[in-house]
Amino acid sequence: MKKLSTLTLTGQGTQALLEKGKLVIEKGRIMQAIRCLMTVSIANASGTSRALSDTEKQTFLDGYSLKLSYGRNGRRKPLNMVTFTRVQKIARFLLGSEWEGYANSVYGLGKTLTNSATTTVQFYVTIPTGRLWQLGVLRRLFGVGRTQAKTMQLEVFRKTDALPSGFTVSGNVTLDIIPDDYSKKGPEQWTYLPEWHELDETDRKARLPPGCVLLAVERSTPLASTTLTDIAVRIGQEEQYTNMSAVDAYTQFLDLPNVPAEADISDRETVLYQVTSDMQLRDWLSGVFEVEQITKTLGTTRLAGLICPVPEDQEIREDVQDAAGKNGRNKTLKAINAATVYSLEDGQLPHSLYPYMPMVLVDTDDKEFQRYPGMVSEDGRQAEPFVPDSVLGAARGAYAAFYANREEKNAADVVKQLALAVPGCVQDVYGLSRAGSLVLTAVGRLVA
């Protein structure tokens, strides 16, 4: 970890930009977060020396926001004009810990602000980019590699300095940009990061965009103050609970009192669903999250959630093309689904979860290049599905044998298993059961 740049906000209504190409990490490393060391000088003319209360700190952080984007033309925006308080909650949920310095009374935002003086405080605004503490030994599965990091752009905004009467921000506010990266053996990877969405209820129901649901909350009040007493929650075709209060669902269905305090955000809002540390990766749910007020007890459900997206076929092809071209490695590159390379869940990961797994990026010097099918771009040219000759030959033999024995389903499974290694194979939240894909069709033609 090393400082890359310093962003300076010169006053209220200003913004600062870390441009695309400036977020640089070394080869063989994966970034799990961007840590921004925020330095603020606060003048106290209130007549009393004291620290800010938690409510006052939250109000202050609400005056700052950020936008994080990546991919071709910054098309993916996992955090789009999200306040620092929201980023703080997301970081607690994903990383399992509070922002460093937020509560610190020696140097951080919990420091006593001396009357008739200006006090400088520092704390880390931590922006998650992959780590999920709930996954145990797989917590480092997700993360951003150096090629993807080069496509990232970070904008920060200082809208207003909302401090109590008698307190003011003195001068500039700075943020030192420090990638939180670590060494990872093996090929580089690219992860489509979970995205934050907010929307309001319509006719008793509220739905999040389709994808893999990591977290869903009602953002009006903390859990202890919620008035949601009779609700139903569904994810795709699976009902999670019904005719329960949000409080009962939290304690009985989700069993969230066992979550470490720093990772539990129910002190800030009402948690309706989240992945938990006792879930296997294969237990994650893909679909559309819906909450319904069976008995109307809250004027409007203000729903929000953290959703892993299903990247479209063309998007994946363009990202692989860019990674292979002059903005990336400038050589022939293959992207392979991490579920195949790492044999996740012993090769039994549900098809519906393949879109959310990272892409492993290899070139012709890597042994994985000839071992697995993948999406290939030659020196930045259009990316296409590719199956190595040895793999294709074995697949054709198995396919022909199954067909000769009239085992059509097994023959189709040969094609599916090859195609699943290619990013973009699954284009539907329910896997390959409802819809095919361009990748599946292309691989099928190669085999048959």
pLDDT per residue rounded down to tens, the chain (448 residues): 789 999 999 999 999 999 999 999 999 999 999 999 999 999 999 999 999 999 999 999 999 999 999 999 999 999 999 999 999 999 999 999 999 999 999 999 999 999 999 999 999 999 999 989 999 888 889 999 999 999 999 999 999 999 999 999 999 999 999 999 999 888 999 999 999 999 999 889 999 999 999 999 999 999 999 999 999 999 998 999 999 999 999 999 998 888 888 999 999 999 999 999 999 999 999 999 999 999 999 999 999 999 999 999 999 999 999 999 976 677 899 999 999 999 998 889 999 999 999 999 999 999 999 999 999 999 899 999 999 999 999 999 999 999 899 999 999 999 999 999 999 999 999 999 888 899 999 999 999 8
Sequence spans of domains, the chain: 5-184, 195-308, 313-447
Report residue 286 as tokens. 């893909």
pLDDT at 202: 85
153/137 Cα distance (integer angstroms): 30
What DSSP line would sit under 124-181, residue for residue? EEEEESS--GGGGGGTTSS-B-HHHHHT-EEEEEE------TTEEE-S-EEEEEEEEE
pLDDT at 327: 66
User: CA–CA distance from 58 to each of 88, 94, 237 (Å)?
Assistant: 10, 19, 37
Give per-residue pLDDT as tens, 189-233: 999 999 999 999 988 999 999 999 999 999 999 999 999 999 999
pLDDT at 328: 67
DSSP assigned state of 209: P
342: alpha, beta or left? (left if phi > 0; alpha if psi -120 to 50): alpha
Residue 99 φ/ψ, nearest 5 degrees: -55, 130
pLDDT at 434: 84
Which CATH topology does 5-184 take?
Adenovirus Type 2 Hexon; domain 4 (2.70.9)
438/59 Cα distance (integer angstroms): 48
